[in-house]
Amino acid sequence: MPEVRPGDDLAALLAAACPADLGDDDVLVVASKVVSKAEGCVVKLAGVSVGEEARRIAADAPGGKDPRLVQLVLDEAAEVLRAERGVIIVETRHGFVCANAGIDVSNLPGDDVALLLPEDPDASARALRDGIEAACGVRPAVVITDSFGRAWRMGQVDVAIGAAGLLVVDDWRGRSDAHGRELRATVAAVGDAVASMADLARSKDAGEPAVLVRGLSRYVTPEDGPGAAALRRPRPDDLFR
Amino acid sequence: MPEVRPGDDLAALLAAACPADLGDDDVLVVASKVVSKAEGCVVKLAGVSVGEEARRIAADAPGGKDPRLVQLVLDEAAEVLRAERGVIIVETRHGFVCANAGIDVSNLPGDDVALLLPEDPDASARALRDGIEAACGVRPAVVITDSFGRAWRMGQVDVAIGAAGLLVVDDWRGRSDAHGRELRATVAAVGDAVASMADLARSKDAGEPAVLVRGLSRYVTPEDGPGAAALRRPRPDDLFR
């Protein structure tokens, strides 16, 4: 894949990078960063006006934090869950709970630019799926991923923030196990597992924004489906904020 | 794999089920359930004495919850983080934050038995690695997995609760990206990604307790290493309890 720039036709670039035998039952996993770049979700830090709250949070961070980045995080946040020791966990306006509202300042040309998450990642996934079909006549599932931390686990894993054509949640409740017993509380977050798997296949610094996953046709659907929105825990069920 | 019973030599059973070309750079991912069975981490519910707290929590659960199971969860807990609406989130005595202390009542023969997590999953992983080497002269990495929920995401994903010979956390902080910028906060939870990936390769009701993962030799180490303990966020860094 070439370096992606705002306004680029990402679907066409992805289609061109896919193997000739791309199939309708394949899953194309795309890093949100490249989607944000193509969609122009880019903000110059120089143009950010920093408010009081952002200044205070930035000053509290050990080692300091760019107050303009903090302001962007607050701008993208529907709710701030925690802002301690330089860690800012928010619910984004999309409904994702993550650090720094998913804003990325690495791997960008120049020092003064921040990448926001795509405006509507499920819509982005649907558009990519349509665009790939238009480009090459094949309609794989599309998953858009980002790296999220976890409350009680070290490190980040990639999760699905957008999806089209993938059964992102596989609900086994009510089905029976091998002994005829009802399985309890077994709801597999397939979309997130696919995202994590794809991340293992690429190197973070190698400029590989997409991974093609095969062998998951049992989770691929002709319709686009509810998208990765189905992986967001609804606010009333949240025990931890 | 045959059905595993307490006292079985799980390493020998796994070695026998592995392909002839098993390599030192392979990763063998084993469901904790089968480790618990082999190690005899099995409790008959009939023998559990239910205390006041367990009775109260069980009564509060919509639709009811077996108070004996609740008692076992409390027995396995170092701390109860939440007990609401039938959901019990604890830190186990091992240090895992998860629902029901990882106790499993599905897929078991008979109605009245609970499977606890292995006593020391990292030690179990090391013992399996040694045992597989003894059985077939090859020393793959071993990861022991369990399904955990997430605070803000729907469904469960498999995570690594035990490991030997796998770099479970790949720390990119301080390294540079493709543009020479320092990467921030990029610590990949490789062990958990491997666990999630393996779960995608098997069917929950098919009695497939182990998955062989190839192509991850860059994360496989000759020494057993710190194990999955390195994936547990230390208590002082926990912002959410």
Q: What is the pLDDT of residues A43-60, one digit of tens each?
A: 999 899 999 999 999 999
Q: According to DSSP H, which parts of A31-66 are helical?
A: 32-39, 52-60
Among all chains, which residue has been given the structure tokens 């592995």?
A: B18
How far is Cα of residue B46 from the mean position of the Cα atoms in its chain?
26
| Six-digit token string for A84 | 């301690």
pLDDT tens digits, chain B, 241 residues: what are they?
A: 898 999 999 999 999 999 999 999 999 999 999 999 999 999 999 899 999 999 999 999 888 889 999 999 999 999 999 999 889 999 999 999 999 999 987 555 556 889 999 999 999 999 999 999 999 999 999 999 999 999 999 999 999 999 999 999 998 877 665 555 555 558 999 999 999 999 999 865 667 899 999 999 999 999 999 999 999 999 988 999 8
Residue A111 has pLDDT above 90, yes or no: no
Q: How confident is the model at residue A180 (pLDDT cuts 50, 70, 90)?
A: low
- Backbone φ, ψ for residue B187 (5° rounding): -125, 110
Total length of chain A: 241
Q: Which residues contact B180 (CB under 8 A, 6 or more apart)?
A: none
Cβ pair B204:A188 closer than 8 A: yes
Judging contacts by C-beta atoms under 8 Å, the chain A residues touching residue B31 are none
C-alpha distance from B144 to closest chain A C-alpha (Å):
16
Q: Which residues of B touch A151 (CB under 8 A)?
A: 97, 150-152, 233, 238-240
Q: Residues B17, B21, B26, CA angle at the centre, nearest 5°?
A: 80
CA–CA separation, B147 and B158 (whole Å): 4
A-B CB pairs within 8 A amount to 201
Which positions in chain B touch A99 (Cβ < 8 Å)? 185
- Take residue B205 and report the two structure tokens written for it: 């009701």
What phi and psi, each to the nearest 5 degrees, are found at residue B31? -70, 135
Q: Which two tokens stand for residue A13?
A: 């670039």
- Say which DSSP state B234 is in: P
Burial tier of B53 (Cβ tally within 10 Å: 0-12, 13-18, 19+): middle
The predicted structure's pLDDT at residue B111: 62
| CB atoms B190 and A184 under 8 Å | no
User: H or E element: which one contains B83?
Assistant: strand B77-84
Which residue of chain A has the CA closest to B179? A107
Q: Which two tokens stand for residue B15?
A: 């070695």
CB contact at 8 A, B159 and B42: no
> What is the Cα–Cα distance from A192 to A215, expressed in whole angstroms?
16
pLDDT at B86: 84
Q: Phi, psi (5° rounding) for residue A187?
A: -125, 110
pLDDT tens digits, one per residue of B150-206: 999 999 999 999 999 999 999 887 766 555 555 555 899 999 999 999 999 986 566
Tokens of A166: 């993938």
| Rounded Cα gap, residues A71 and B65, in angstroms | 46
The per-residue pLDDT for A241 is 83
Global pTM reads 0.94
Per DSSP, B15 falls in state: H
Chosen from A187, A196, A235 to mutate, greatest number of chain B CBs within 10 A: A196
What does the pLDDT read at residue B218? Answer: 94
> Which H or E run contains B191?
helix B190-200
Chain-chain contact of B187 with A155 (C-beta, under 8 angstroms):
yes
- For residue A180 the two structure tokens come to 């005829």
Question: Is A89's pLDDT higher than 90?
Answer: yes
Report how far residue B69's alpha carbon sits from residue B105's, in angstroms, rounded to the nearest whole number: 9
For testing contact with chain B, the best of A92, A143, A150 (most B CBs within 10 A): A150
B60: closest CA of chain A, how far (Å)? 16
Contact list in B for residue A96 (CB cut-off 8 A) is 152
Structure tokens at B143: 């990861």
| Residue of B7, B6, B29, B5 whose CA lies nearest to B17 | B29
Contact A106 B184 (CB under 8 A): yes
Alpha-carbon distance of B93 to B77, in angstroms, equals: 5
Task: Tell me if A204 and B109 make a contact (CB, 8 A cut-off).
Answer: no
Q: Indicate whether A211 pLDDT > 90.
A: yes
CA gap B143, A183 in Å, rounded: 24
Q: Kindly identify which residue of chain B lies nearest to residue A99, measuring between CA atoms.
A: B185
Q: Give the pair of three-digit tokens for residue A55.
A: 């200044």
Secondary structure of residue A232 in the 3-state scheme: strand
**Which among B177, B231, B239 has CB closest to A154?**
B231
- For residue B208, give how far its alpha carbon lies from the nearest alpha carbon of chain A (Å): 11
Widest distance between CA atoms in chain A: 62
